[in-house]
Structure 1
Amino acid sequence: MGKIARPKILPPQVMELIGHALHTVQYGYLILTVQDGCVIRMEKTEKYVFSSKNKAGYVKRNVPVGEHLLQSKIIAELQGLMYGQLIIHLEDGKVGLIEKTEKRRINEYEGINGDGI
Protein backbone atom coordinates (compact mmCIF):
# COMPACT_ATOMS: atom_id res chain seq x y z
CA MET A 1 0.00 0.00 0.00
CA GLY A 2 1.08 3.59 -0.56
CA LYS A 3 2.01 5.96 2.19
CA ILE A 4 -0.71 8.00 3.79
CA ALA A 5 -0.11 11.76 3.64
CA ARG A 6 0.22 13.12 7.15
CA PRO A 7 0.28 16.84 7.85
CA LYS A 8 3.87 17.83 8.59
CA ILE A 9 5.08 20.92 10.33
CA LEU A 10 7.65 22.81 8.31
CA PRO A 11 10.87 23.59 10.19
CA PRO A 12 11.23 27.27 11.15
CA GLN A 13 14.30 27.64 8.90
CA VAL A 14 12.29 26.54 5.86
CA MET A 15 9.42 28.89 6.79
CA GLU A 16 11.87 31.76 7.20
CA LEU A 17 13.47 31.17 3.78
CA ILE A 18 10.09 30.87 2.04
CA GLY A 19 8.81 34.04 3.74
CA HIS A 20 11.97 35.98 2.90
CA ALA A 21 11.82 34.95 -0.76
CA LEU A 22 8.10 35.83 -1.02
CA HIS A 23 8.83 39.33 0.30
CA THR A 24 11.98 40.05 -1.72
CA VAL A 25 11.62 38.50 -5.19
CA GLN A 26 10.06 40.93 -7.67
CA TYR A 27 10.01 38.77 -10.81
CA GLY A 28 10.83 35.07 -10.84
CA TYR A 29 9.77 31.91 -9.12
CA LEU A 30 10.37 29.60 -6.19
CA ILE A 31 10.44 25.84 -6.61
CA LEU A 32 9.84 23.81 -3.45
CA THR A 33 10.68 20.12 -3.90
CA VAL A 34 8.95 17.64 -1.58
CA GLN A 35 10.03 14.08 -0.85
CA ASP A 36 8.40 11.81 1.74
CA GLY A 37 6.19 14.74 2.79
CA CYS A 38 9.17 17.00 3.66
CA VAL A 39 10.53 20.00 1.78
CA ILE A 40 14.03 18.91 0.78
CA ARG A 41 15.01 21.77 -1.55
CA MET A 42 14.06 25.33 -2.46
CA GLU A 43 15.24 26.90 -5.69
CA LYS A 44 14.87 30.63 -6.20
CA THR A 45 15.11 32.20 -9.63
CA GLU A 46 14.95 35.97 -9.74
CA LYS A 47 14.60 37.94 -12.95
CA TYR A 48 15.26 41.63 -13.37
CA VAL A 49 13.03 43.49 -15.81
CA PHE A 50 14.48 46.61 -17.40
CA SER A 51 11.89 48.93 -18.85
CA SER A 52 11.75 52.47 -20.11
CA LYS A 53 8.61 52.88 -17.98
CA ASN A 54 10.57 52.47 -14.75
CA LYS A 55 12.60 55.70 -14.54
CA ALA A 56 13.17 55.43 -10.79
CA GLY A 57 15.70 52.61 -11.19
CA TYR A 58 16.13 49.57 -9.01
CA VAL A 59 13.92 49.62 -5.92
CA LYS A 60 15.26 47.88 -2.84
CA ARG A 61 12.51 46.66 -0.52
CA ASN A 62 12.69 46.30 3.20
CA VAL A 63 11.75 42.80 4.29
CA PRO A 64 8.60 42.93 6.44
CA VAL A 65 8.79 41.20 9.79
CA GLY A 66 5.33 39.65 9.51
CA GLU A 67 4.08 36.66 7.57
CA HIS A 68 3.35 36.98 3.84
CA LEU A 69 -0.38 37.02 2.99
CA LEU A 70 -0.22 33.77 1.02
CA GLN A 71 2.14 31.91 3.33
CA SER A 72 -0.67 29.93 4.99
CA LYS A 73 -2.04 28.94 1.54
CA ILE A 74 1.42 27.70 0.51
CA ILE A 75 1.75 25.70 3.74
CA ALA A 76 -1.67 24.10 3.14
CA GLU A 77 -0.63 23.09 -0.40
CA LEU A 78 2.64 21.61 0.89
CA GLN A 79 1.02 19.59 3.68
CA GLY A 80 -0.97 17.39 1.32
CA LEU A 81 2.03 16.69 -0.92
CA MET A 82 4.14 13.54 -0.41
CA TYR A 83 6.27 13.69 -3.59
CA GLY A 84 6.46 16.51 -6.12
CA GLN A 85 6.97 20.23 -6.45
CA LEU A 86 5.22 23.47 -5.64
CA ILE A 87 6.18 26.26 -8.04
CA ILE A 88 5.33 29.81 -6.99
CA HIS A 89 5.47 32.41 -9.77
CA LEU A 90 6.08 36.02 -8.71
CA GLU A 91 5.42 39.05 -10.85
CA ASP A 92 5.89 42.63 -9.69
CA GLY A 93 6.39 41.37 -6.14
CA LYS A 94 3.06 39.52 -6.08
CA VAL A 95 2.24 35.83 -6.30
CA GLY A 96 0.65 35.37 -9.71
CA LEU A 97 0.40 31.60 -9.88
CA ILE A 98 0.92 28.55 -7.68
CA GLU A 99 1.58 25.39 -9.64
CA LYS A 100 1.52 21.98 -7.94
CA THR A 101 3.03 18.85 -9.48
CA GLU A 102 2.31 15.67 -7.55
CA LYS A 103 4.14 12.41 -8.11
CA ARG A 104 3.06 9.06 -6.73
CA ARG A 105 5.19 6.02 -6.07
CA ILE A 106 3.55 2.81 -7.17
CA ASN A 107 5.15 -0.16 -5.45
CA GLU A 108 2.42 -2.76 -5.81
CA TYR A 109 2.68 -2.92 -9.63
CA GLU A 110 5.74 -4.80 -10.79
CA GLY A 111 6.79 -6.15 -14.14
CA ILE A 112 8.24 -9.55 -15.00
CA ASN A 113 11.73 -8.66 -13.78
CA GLY A 114 10.57 -6.85 -10.66
CA ASP A 115 10.63 -3.47 -12.41
CA GLY A 116 7.95 -0.91 -11.68
CA ILE A 117 5.70 0.52 -14.35
Structure 2
Amino acid sequence: MAAEKKALESINPQAMKYIRQALSEICFGELILVAQDSRLIQIERNEKIRIQQNAPSCQRKAFEEKELSFLEEKIRASFKNLDYGQLVIVIKDGKVKQMDRTIRSRFTGMDGEGI
Protein backbone atom coordinates (compact mmCIF):
# COMPACT_ATOMS: atom_id res chain seq x y z
CA MET A 1 0.00 0.00 0.00
CA ALA A 2 2.78 2.46 0.89
CA ALA A 3 4.62 1.68 -2.37
CA GLU A 4 1.44 2.32 -4.40
CA LYS A 5 0.89 5.67 -2.67
CA LYS A 6 4.54 6.59 -3.23
CA ALA A 7 4.20 5.88 -6.97
CA LEU A 8 0.97 7.90 -7.24
CA GLU A 9 2.54 10.92 -5.56
CA SER A 10 5.71 10.90 -7.69
CA ILE A 11 4.28 13.61 -10.01
CA ASN A 12 1.95 15.97 -8.20
CA PRO A 13 -1.07 17.56 -9.95
CA GLN A 14 0.52 21.03 -10.18
CA ALA A 15 3.63 19.60 -11.88
CA MET A 16 1.47 17.57 -14.28
CA LYS A 17 -0.46 20.72 -15.15
CA TYR A 18 2.83 22.40 -16.09
CA ILE A 19 3.93 19.34 -18.10
CA ARG A 20 0.62 19.31 -20.05
CA GLN A 21 0.98 23.03 -20.79
CA ALA A 22 4.57 22.63 -21.99
CA LEU A 23 3.60 19.71 -24.23
CA SER A 24 0.99 21.95 -25.84
CA GLU A 25 3.45 24.82 -26.40
CA ILE A 26 6.73 23.22 -27.53
CA CYS A 27 7.14 22.55 -31.25
CA PHE A 28 10.69 21.19 -31.18
CA GLY A 29 12.61 20.30 -28.04
CA GLU A 30 12.31 18.21 -24.93
CA LEU A 31 11.00 18.10 -21.41
CA ILE A 32 13.28 16.48 -18.87
CA LEU A 33 11.73 15.19 -15.64
CA VAL A 34 14.32 14.58 -12.93
CA ALA A 35 13.65 12.00 -10.19
CA GLN A 36 15.21 11.78 -6.77
CA ASP A 37 13.94 9.40 -4.09
CA SER A 38 11.12 8.36 -6.47
CA ARG A 39 9.77 11.93 -6.63
CA LEU A 40 9.80 14.56 -9.35
CA ILE A 41 12.18 17.27 -8.15
CA GLN A 42 12.87 19.23 -11.33
CA ILE A 43 11.47 19.90 -14.79
CA GLU A 44 13.77 21.18 -17.52
CA ARG A 45 12.31 22.65 -20.68
CA ASN A 46 14.58 22.82 -23.73
CA GLU A 47 12.92 24.40 -26.73
CA LYS A 48 14.45 24.64 -30.20
CA ILE A 49 13.39 27.18 -32.77
CA ARG A 50 13.58 25.81 -36.29
CA ILE A 51 14.17 28.42 -38.98
CA GLN A 52 12.69 27.53 -42.36
CA GLN A 53 12.44 29.78 -45.37
CA ASN A 54 8.95 30.92 -46.36
CA ALA A 55 7.23 28.67 -43.82
CA PRO A 56 6.34 28.79 -40.15
CA SER A 57 8.66 26.66 -38.06
CA CYS A 58 5.87 24.53 -36.64
CA GLN A 59 2.64 23.31 -38.16
CA ARG A 60 0.75 22.16 -35.10
CA LYS A 61 -2.77 21.83 -33.91
CA ALA A 62 -3.85 21.80 -30.29
CA PHE A 63 -3.89 18.47 -28.48
CA GLU A 64 -7.32 17.11 -27.72
CA GLU A 65 -8.05 16.28 -24.07
CA LYS A 66 -8.04 12.58 -24.95
CA GLU A 67 -4.50 12.86 -26.37
CA LEU A 68 -3.25 14.79 -23.34
CA SER A 69 -4.78 12.20 -20.98
CA PHE A 70 -3.09 9.40 -22.93
CA LEU A 71 0.28 11.21 -22.77
CA GLU A 72 -0.17 11.87 -19.05
CA GLU A 73 -0.80 8.17 -18.46
CA LYS A 74 2.31 7.21 -20.47
CA ILE A 75 4.44 9.76 -18.61
CA ARG A 76 3.23 8.55 -15.20
CA ALA A 77 3.85 4.91 -16.20
CA SER A 78 7.36 5.68 -17.47
CA PHE A 79 8.19 7.74 -14.39
CA LYS A 80 6.84 5.11 -12.00
CA ASN A 81 9.49 3.31 -9.92
CA LEU A 82 12.21 5.70 -11.09
CA ASP A 83 14.13 6.20 -7.84
CA TYR A 84 16.98 8.28 -9.30
CA GLY A 85 17.30 9.38 -12.92
CA GLN A 86 15.36 11.18 -15.56
CA LEU A 87 12.63 10.85 -18.15
CA VAL A 88 13.26 12.78 -21.36
CA ILE A 89 10.18 13.53 -23.49
CA VAL A 90 11.24 14.35 -27.07
CA ILE A 91 8.92 16.62 -29.08
CA LYS A 92 9.23 17.15 -32.84
CA ASP A 93 6.86 19.25 -34.93
CA GLY A 94 4.49 19.59 -31.97
CA LYS A 95 4.19 15.83 -31.40
CA VAL A 96 5.68 13.60 -28.72
CA LYS A 97 8.00 11.29 -30.65
CA GLN A 98 9.73 9.33 -27.89
CA MET A 99 10.51 9.02 -24.20
CA ASP A 100 13.96 8.08 -22.92
CA ARG A 101 14.31 6.82 -19.38
CA THR A 102 17.70 6.97 -17.64
CA ILE A 103 18.08 5.15 -14.33
CA ARG A 104 20.84 6.13 -11.91
CA SER A 105 21.97 3.98 -9.02
CA ARG A 106 23.17 5.32 -5.69
CA PHE A 107 25.81 3.39 -3.78
CA THR A 108 26.40 4.21 -0.13
CA GLY A 109 28.96 2.88 2.29
CA MET A 110 31.70 3.23 -0.30
CA ASP A 111 34.47 5.77 -0.68
CA GLY A 112 32.87 9.19 -1.10
CA GLU A 113 29.34 8.14 -0.05
CA GLY A 114 27.21 7.94 -3.16
CA ILE A 115 27.95 8.86 -6.73
Task: With the length of structure 2 as denominator, give the TM-score of the two structures.
Answer: 0.77
Q: Which runs of 4+ in 1 moved over 3 A?
A: 57-65, 114-117
Matched residues in 2 for 1:82 and 1:115: separation? 17
Amino acid of the structure 2 residue aligned with 1:48: I
Amino acid of the structure 1 residue aligned with 2:8: K
Matched residues in 2 for 1:32 and 1:39: separation? 7
- Structure with max Cα Rg: 1
Q: Does 14-23 or 60-69 show the bigger shift?
A: 60-69
Mark the runs of 5 or more structure 2 residues left unpaired by the alignment. Answer: none
What SS does structure 2 have at the residue aligned with 1:77?
A: helix
CA contact (8 A) 2:51 2:57 kept: no
Aligned counterpart, 1:22: 23
Aligned counterparts, 1:1-117, within 5 A: 6-9=6-9, 10-52=11-53, 54=55, 57=56, 66=65, 68=68, 69-107=70-108, 110-111=110-111
1:58 Cα shift?
Answer: 6.1
Number of aligned residues: 109
Q: Comparing both structures, which one devotes a greater share of its residues to helix?
A: 2
Task: With the length of structure 1 as denominator, give the TM-score of the two structures.
Answer: 0.76
Overall identity of the aligned pairs, in %: 33
Matched residues in 1 for 2:12 and 2:60: separation? 25
1:89 Cα shift?
Answer: 0.8
Mark the runs of 5 or more structure 1 residues left unpaired by the alignment. Answer: none
Aligned-pair Cα RMSD in Å: 2.7
1:65 Cα shift?
Answer: 7.5
Higher relative contact order (CA 8 A, sep 6+): 1
Matched residues in 2 for 1:116 and 1:61: separation? 44
Cα distance per residue 1:15-72 (max 9 Å; x no partner): 1011111111100001110000110000101111111262xx3669786583613221
CA contact (8 A) 1:36 1:83 kept: yes
